[in-house]
């Protein structure tokens, strides 16, 4: 193909559109006085002036540990993610530490469940065993965080105790009686070796209750990452497979309405007042407006959770050849950090950390 001669920008007559321009008397465009493109000319220049950067140390890997497995079990809706055994989660944690990932957030999947979710705080429960195993493997080289919620452990799949039949409010999730179970869960996680607990149930007063329990049992050094602005999102779908959820119905009476923006900031500020060391917005990508609001107002670090549905959509589109997988992963994370997240929970944490370290 013959190269097109480069026209003289000062002479419309040399333009490929000369006939139209000259017939209409269009003057030559004025030369720009400001040229932002100068800073985009080379990869080195772009890197030099990049306003947002991703560091492996700000990434948190959510990971699932299942009690009745003898080998890691792939999660169909989340290609590349597995339910771990105790042995494989140790290897995963060691690989995360080696890659420079900041933290791992552990979710337990028990073999048996009951209405109260009692395996959640059992010393020999799968989550507490996983915490102990990971802490023994990595020590302080990786922040060991634990999900502090009952939904994986209850037979009904809700994040708290359900009011029984015959009660005036039968079927409701009872906020205040649930708080004591979160306290038990957090204390048992601290005893197992967690650096950080992460209440995600969206019960009113959960952070204050957990902080009081930790302090009263000599665990004042344990950090609280509060799921402060957690929305009742359809993007959580694949997570339900990951934890073998038994949920019937939804969680709209305690998780936030996706229509509400101001409420997210209100929840965050309440958790900060109650003693949260970090706060979170979940999901991340569809709620960047909320994340930006929170980041502008929060006096403590802000996390954002790139949830299972966000992950699954990218993987599905990439598998069909519709997008450039690596570029979209990085762009999605940049968008979350650019909106104000200090750390990001993402299922790509180790992959991205290893890529950044190449």
Active site residues: 230, 282
Of 132, 243, 134, 82, whose CA–CA distance to 122 is shortest? 132
Tokens linked to 89:
């989660």
Residue 250 reports pLDDT greater than 90: no
CB 180 within 8 A of CB 205: no
Helix (H) / strand (E) element for 223: namely strand 223-230
Residue 356, pLDDT above cutoff 80: yes
Q: Residue 1 has what pLDDT?
A: 63
How does pLDDT run across 171-193, given as a tens digit for each residue? 888 999 999 999 999 999 999 99
CA angle in degrees (0–180, nearest 5) for 123-86-238 = 100
Measured from the Cβ of residue 307, the count of other Cβ atoms closer than 10 Å reads 25
Average of per-residue pLDDT across 264-277: 98
Residue 220 vs residues 4, 54, 248, 274, 302: alpha-carbon distances, Å: 71, 31, 37, 14, 21
d(CA 229, CA 226): 9
How far apart CA 306 and CA 10 sit, in angstroms, is 49
Least confident of 102-111, 151-160, 317-326: 151-160
Q: pLDDT tens, 90-127?
A: 999 999 999 999 999 999 999 999 999 999 999 999 99
Residue 239 has what pLDDT?
85
The pLDDT of residue 10: 87
φ and ψ at residue 236, rounded to 5 degrees: -80, -5
Cβ atoms of 78 and 312 within 8 Å: the answer is yes
What's the whole-model pTM score? 0.95
pLDDT confidence tier of residue 136, bands split at 50, 70 and 90 = very high
pLDDT, mean of residues 65-72: 96
Q: Would you say residue 163 has pLDDT above 70? A: yes
More confident residue, 80 or 247: 80
Dihedral-angle region of residue 308 (phi above 0 means left; psi in -120 to 50 means alpha; beta otherwise): alpha
Alpha-carbon span 350 to 330, nearest angstrom = 13
Residue 13 per-residue DSSP state: G
pLDDT for res 348: 98
Cα 143 to Cα 217: distance, rounded to the nearest angstrom: 21
**Alpha helix stretches (DSSP H) within the chain:** 18-23, 43-48, 86-99, 126-138, 175-192, 206-216, 237-242, 262-274, 288-297, 308-319, 325-338, 349-356
pLDDT surpasses 90 at 170: no
The predicted structure's pLDDT at residue 107: 97
Return the pLDDT at 244: 83
Distance of alpha carbon 130 from alpha carbon 316, whole angstroms: 30
* Average of per-residue pLDDT across 80-86: 97
The angle at the Cα of 31, spanning 8 to 14, to the nearest 5 degrees, equals: 15
Q: Which tokens is 237 given?
A: 């779908």
pLDDT value, residue 3 = 77
What confidence tens digit (pLDDT) does each residue in 330-341 have?
999 999 999 999
pLDDT over 90 (residue 297): yes
The lowest-confidence range among 2-6, 40-44, 160-164 is 2-6
In angstroms, rounded to a whole number, what is the distance separating the alpha carbons of residues 210 and 181? 10
The closest of 87, 105, 107, 85 to 96, measured between CA atoms, is 105
Rounded Cα gap, residues 277 and 305, in angstroms = 16
Query: Does the pLDDT at position 166 exceed 90?
Result: no
Residues 185, 261: Cα–Cα separation, whole Å = 30
- Render 28-44 in DSSP notation, one character per residue: PPPPPS--GGGGGSSHH
Q: Strand 161-162 relative to strand 173-174: parallel, antiparallel, unpaired?
A: antiparallel
pLDDT over threshold 90, residue 55: yes
Tell me: pLDDT of 223 over 80.
yes
The chain-wide mean pLDDT, for the chain, equals: 95
pLDDT above 90: percentage of residues in the chain: 86
| Domains, the chain | 55-356 (3.20.20.70)
Q: State the DSSP H helix or E strand holding residue 73, giving kind and residue range, or none if neither.
A: strand 73-74
């Amino acid at each position: 193909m013959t190269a097109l001669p480069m026209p003289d920008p000062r002479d419309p007559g040399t333009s490929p559109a000369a006939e139209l321009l000259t017939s209409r008397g269009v003057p030559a465009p004025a030369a720009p006085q400001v040229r932002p493109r100068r800073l985009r000319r080379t990869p080195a220049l772009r890197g030099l002036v990049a306003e947002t950067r991703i560091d492996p140390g700000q990434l948190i890997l959510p990971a699932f540990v299942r009690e009745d497995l003898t080998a890691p079990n792939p999660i169909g809706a989340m290609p590349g993610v597995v339910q771990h055994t105790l042995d494989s989660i140790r290897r995963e944690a060691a690989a995360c530490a080696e890659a420079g990932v900041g933290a791992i957030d552990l979710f337990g999947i028990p073999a048996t469940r009951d209405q109260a979710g009692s395996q959640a705080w059992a010393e020999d429960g799968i989550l507490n065993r996983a915490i102990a195993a990971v802490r023994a493997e990595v020590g302080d080289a990786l922040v060991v965080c634990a999900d502090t919620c009952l939904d994986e452990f209850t037979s009904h799949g809700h994040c708290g105790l359900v009011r029984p039949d015959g009660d005036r409010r039968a079927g409701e999730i009872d906020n205040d009686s649930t708080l004591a179970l979160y306290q038990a869960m957090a204390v048992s996680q601290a005893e197992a070796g967690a650096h950080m607990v992460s209440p995600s149930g969206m019960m009113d007063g959960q952070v204050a209750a957990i902080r009081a329990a930790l302090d009263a049992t000599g665990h004042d050094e344990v950090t609280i990452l509060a799921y402060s602005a957690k929305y009742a999102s359809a993007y959580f779908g694949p997570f339900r497979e990951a934890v073998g959820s038994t949920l019937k119905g939804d969680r709209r009476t305690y998780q936030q309405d996706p229509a509400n923006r101001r409420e997210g900031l209100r929840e965050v500020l309440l958790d900060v007042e109650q003693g949260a060391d970090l706060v979170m917005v979940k999901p991340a990508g569809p709620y960047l407006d909320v994340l930006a609001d929170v980041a502008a107002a929060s006096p403590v670090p802000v996390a954002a959770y790139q949830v299972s549905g966000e992950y699954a959509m990218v993987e599905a589109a990439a598998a069909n050849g519709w997008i450039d997988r690596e570029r979209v992963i990085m762009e999605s994370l940049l968008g979350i950090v650019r909106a104000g997240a200090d750390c990001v929970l993402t299922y790509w944490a180790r992959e991205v950390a290893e890529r950044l370290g190449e």
